């Protein structure tokens, strides 16, 4: 998570971290070091990004599982259309890792 936080501040940073320890950051190729407090301030953002990535992966799998209902030779029921829309809307308004991790997926009709 430390490197992800650093890259949030400086996407071009050349850095490595020993043992995932914020006290073991090694700056490479003339990258300007970033303060530990600035790096730590990015942790909640990185955690939210990771939680949202996991949530989207689960949501996308559920959408893929029902894609065949939308094929031209199949008529999608209104219940299925509502379910799929609820899946697409599931990430709306999520601003914290805890919210992302506590999402309850709708039941498939």
Task: Tell me: pLDDT of 6 over 90.
Answer: yes
98's tokens: 């805890």
| pTM of the model as a whole | 0.80
pLDDT in tens, 15-68: 999 888 999 999 998 888 999 999 999 999 999 999 999 999 999 999 999 888
Q: Which residues of 18-40 are buried (b: 16+ CB within 10 A; e: fewer)?
A: eeeeeeebeeeeeeeebeeeebe
């Amino acid at each position: 998570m430390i490197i992800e936080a650093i890259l949030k501040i400086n996407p071009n940073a050349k850095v490595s971290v020993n043992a995932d320890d914020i006290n073991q950051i090694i700056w490479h190729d003339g990258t300007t070091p970033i303060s530990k407090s600035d790096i730590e301030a990015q942790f909640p953002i990185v955690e939210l990004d990771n939680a949202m990535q996991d949530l989207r992966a689960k949501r996308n799998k559920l959408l893929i599982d029902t894609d065949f209902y939308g094929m031209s030779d199949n008529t999608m029921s209104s219940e299925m259309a509502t379910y799929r829309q609820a899946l697409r809307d599931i990430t709306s308004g999520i601003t914290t890792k805890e919210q992302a991790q506590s999402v309850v997926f709708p039941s498939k009709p």
